[in-house]
A and B are shown apart, each in its own frame.
Chain A
């Protein structure tokens, strides 16, 4: 897929040295899933979201979540127009193609759930009238893992709405040097060339559905899901929705890899991003390590 490679190259120009995370973000978009980025401030979350929007020619809005925010601040509000003597809807920031929800865990659960509902349903109901969200519609949410004071941690049920969770992390020394040597990031983002438009992205999303997954591969995916449920180290196993998401993500990953069929490697590549945030450890320990260990222990091809 040349267009996808170009898109990756474009975004890579502003988010340096994070090819893996970029690919995952792209796969998440292709799989029509929402992305949660968990990182410290200033790691390039906004730049990434912005760059993605530029490259795919998407409408882009950013909302900074705070504890005093109300659902209406995101979804919109009905206002009475004295001239027409009618209520009209003033659309909130959610009516866009790519929404960056910054520090989502700072909002109250009420506000969070309003957004998450919109994410899942891809439509907004206000005052009894339902309005569809634009197509495509992506949410890139960020949360700060360290500063937990005055935050409302997203419950598991809400986390399940995000197809993937990634973290960018600090850049490597060489990359950081390049970063420092480079000019204004905002300027650079604005200079990025569009590769595909939103319509093209929707088309690609449909293409993901046609990527073939054989019975043997589905078997492997099922074994992975099964393993999370049978492992006592986790409080609960992955849901069927997670499984469907995993397969969709793997298909998208295969598409990025230029294949029309899914390999076990595709599943393994998206596995941490899809599974980690959905799993909770029973007695402490690194969920990441546990999730990764399942890839080692679950046989790819059935053993006798």
Chain B
């Protein structure tokens, strides 16, 4: 039979649908003209298919191509790189669709389609996207099935079914490959989505910054603890330490004369002296927390962890101020394993340069605050008494914890401490640190998150943007860096129960502040769904996306004891080859003996039933003899047996056309009735 090189009509629908759905995620990201191009292409194609217009000629298509390339360059400023490249790919995909006439074009389009699907996963790897891409791939496969169908009267839905079955058959293979195939590091590092401004902590802290974060319920990161979960009030997730102050804004500062190599410790370098001491102290302490953090993309380099975090990941470094820093920006979800030893802070030393940095205050800011601090200094005989005095001050004076603090005048410190007295955590942390430095105690501001909510399903912790927090750390001789949270002195509920509780206690409700506290709340079904969605999302991340070389080795060494390439190759061979052999054998066996049909099974069921009821029958019993045997032994079942026999003979032997399914359904019903009658 001559192949039809024309695209079969019954595949056109699937092809259009596949093209649209594959491009859809990119359209949301890409420039607006791209959606316009897609609509234009589909409309032209529809008109062509209905023979209203001819297929656009070579000139028109070339013009369209040039315009597309020009627009891409206009939108992105270049034609390479992930964003521009993918945009160009999607545009070309649409243009290719326009000129599909022959089977060969359709093949090109489909291969492009698979590729476009894959690029969707470059930007977002959540489980929903995964299923979406799976649906797209099913559609594309349905197209492949369709264009390879020789029967021109074939129906489109059948292709989809065939494709779905084929993909389902591929699932075990996928799982085996996923588990066993070694992960190869990417050949090039793509900077995807860099420079996009999203909610999240910035590297400076000025009044009003954290409170604006508090209006977002986006997830910042998730934590799965192995073993003990620290209580709410101890869950301080440090991100940044801010040590220089210009009177309004706190920034990061490096002590003078310290090399970056001495400040940051990576896994592959000889550790500086302070790190060895810290590590030794950490080993002696029994209290430590082990957990895995999965961070949402922050497009920053710093990571979040509790003090003092130790990591083994070669891409992460620990800074002298107990922070974790990644080698590159966190542009995709990042998982990392941390062991935190809270008491190790005492092993740290303070160099004179650091002391100098932690005491520096901008001149001419906060004269009243300075004098208050000096007075505390004179009255107290130790640094810790000064700290206590300051906390008492915050607690006893009429300070308010509020999301909507009034604007501060020129001198943000004095104005807050002595006039407005209404502020959010950053106001308290900032002014407290100022007071400490003024009193001669080295101090710094720490920005990060505090608290977080436990997912009731598996107990992993979800930290959202509204958990953002700022607090202080002061240097006390003999104890090292000590965390002091002035907010706790004003609004203890914030620390113990979270922001919502704190605001409620202050007489504000979330709704009249326009806040979105869509964390896990209540037992409503909607709440339950959210909890489960969160759980699935987190597990997807930890089990699937974070399954990198390290975890693969860890997992495989549980099975193979020692993992060698030979063993992996053997396992692959066994896992893939054995099922293939089995399937082959089964197919050969099947060719010898076609499987029992539903009708045959139906007879066998009744036959077995009668035998179970104690009637011995020869294998050569015909349906009629079976029915007669039943009515002889159980006269009350005679009518049903007769009906069964008539229906069965008609179905099996009369070769009359009819609704087979319906016939089988009746037979099954009759058998069920017989089942009750045969006693």
Q: Which residues of A contact B (CB under 8 A)?
A: 212-214, 216-217, 261-265, 268, 294-304
Which of the residues A265, A294, A297, A303 comes within 8 Å of B622, measured between beta carbons? A265
Encode contact with A along B595-606: 1 for CB under 8 Å, 0 otherwise.
Answer: 011011101100
Query: Could you pull out 11 A-B pairs where Cβ atoms are within 8 angstroms?
Result: A212-B654, A213-B653, A214-B654, A216-B652, A217-B652, A217-B653, A263-B622, A263-B624, A300-B620, A300-B621, A304-B596
B652 closest partner in A (C-beta)? A216
Most chain B beta-carbon neighbours within 10 Å: one of A213, A217, A262, A265: A265
Q: Which of B576-600 contact A (CB under 8 A)?
A: 596-597, 599-600
Is the CB–CB distance between B620 and A263 below 8 Å?
Answer: no
Which of B618, B622, B625 gathers the greatest number of chain A CB atoms within 10 Å?
B622
CB pair B622–A268 under 8 Å, yes or no, is yes
Known A-B contacts A301-B604, A303-B604, A304-B604; A296 and B653 likewise in contact (beta carbons under 8 Å): no
**Chain B: residues with CB nearer than 8 A to chain A?**
596-597, 599-601, 603-604, 607, 618-625, 649, 652-656
For residue B403, give the distance in angstroms from its CB to the closest CB of chain A. 72
Query: Which residue of B has the minimal Cβ distance to A260?
Result: B654
* Residues of B contacting A265 in the complex (Cβ-Cβ under 8 angstroms): 622, 624-625
CB neighbours (8 Å) of A212 from chain B are: 654-655
B602 CB to closest chain A CB, in angstroms? 9
With known contacts A214-B655, A216-B599, A217-B653, A296–B604 Cβ distance under 8 A: no
Do B600 and A302 touch (CB < 8 A)? yes
Known: A216-B600, A301-B603, A301-B604. A296 touches B618 (CB 8 A): yes
Q: Chain B nearest CB: distance from A221 CB in Å?
A: 12
Residue of B nearest to A302 (CB): B600
Q: Which of B618, B623, B655 contacts A301 (CB 8 A)?
A: B623
Structural contact, A299 and B624, CB atoms closer than 8 A: no
CB-CB under 8 A from A303, the residues of chain B are 604, 619
A296 to B619, CA, bound (A): 6
Task: Give the CA-CA distance A216 to B600 in the complex, in Å.
Answer: 9
Specify which chain B residues have a CB less than 8 angstroms from the CB of A304 in the assembled complex.
596, 601, 604
B620 to chain A, nearest CB (A): 5
Q: Are A296 and B620 in contact (CB under 8 A)?
A: yes
* Min CB–CB distance A272 → chain B (angstroms): 13
B residues less than 8 Å from A301 (CB atoms): 599-600, 603-604, 607, 623, 652
- Write the nearest CB–CB distance from B598 to chain A, whole angstroms: 12
Beyond the given A217-B652, A264-B653, A268-B622, please list 18 additional residue pairs across the A-B interface where CB-CB is below 8 A: A212-B655, A214-B652, A214-B653, A216-B599, A216-B652, A262-B653, A263-B624, A263-B649, A264-B624, A265-B625, A298-B619, A299-B619, A300-B622, A301-B599, A301-B607, A303-B604, A304-B601, A304-B604
From residue A133, how far is it (CB to closest CB) to chain B in Å?
34
For residue B602, which residue of chain A has the nearest CB?
A301
Question: Distance in Å from the Cβ of B452 to the closest Cβ of chain A?
Answer: 57
Complex Cα distance A304/B621, Å? 15
> Within 8 Å CB of B599, what residues of A?
216, 301
Bound Cα distance from A229 to B653, whole angstroms = 25
B596 partner residues in chain A, CB cutoff 8 A: 302, 304
Contact present for A295 and B620 (CB under 8 Å): yes
Cβ of A270 to closest chain B Cβ, rounded Å: 14
Flag if B618 contacts A297 (CB, 8 Å): yes
Among residues of B, the one whose C-beta sits closest to the C-beta of A266 is B653
A299 to chain B, nearest CB (A): 5
Output the nearest chain A residue to B619 by Cβ-Cβ distance: A299
Report how far A212 CA is from B597 CA in the complex, Å.
19
Q: Which residues of B contact A217 (CB under 8 A)?
A: 652-653
Q: How far is the CA of A261 from the CA of B620 in the complex (A)?
A: 20
Q: How far is the CB of A254 from chain B (nearest CB, A)?
A: 9
Measured between beta carbons, the chain A residues less than 8 angstroms from B624 are 263-265
The 6 closest A-B pairs by CB, nearest first: A296-B618, A301-B603, A264-B622, A212-B655, A299-B619, A261-B654
Are A297 and B619 in contact (CB-based, < 8 A)? yes
If A303-B604, A304-B596 touch, whether A216 touches B622 (CB-CB below 8 Å) is no
- Write the chain B residue with the least CB distance to A254: B653
For B656, the chain A residues whose CB sits under 8 A away are: 261
Which residues of A are found within 8 Å of B603, using beta-carbon distances? 301
B650 nearest in chain A by CB position: A261
Minimum distance in angstroms from B618 CB to a CB of chain A: 4
Residues of the A chain whose Cβ atoms lie less than 8 Å from the Cβ of B619: 296-299, 303
Contacts of A216 in B (CB 8 A): 597, 599-600, 652-653
The residues of A that contact B607 with a CB separation of less than 8 Å are 301
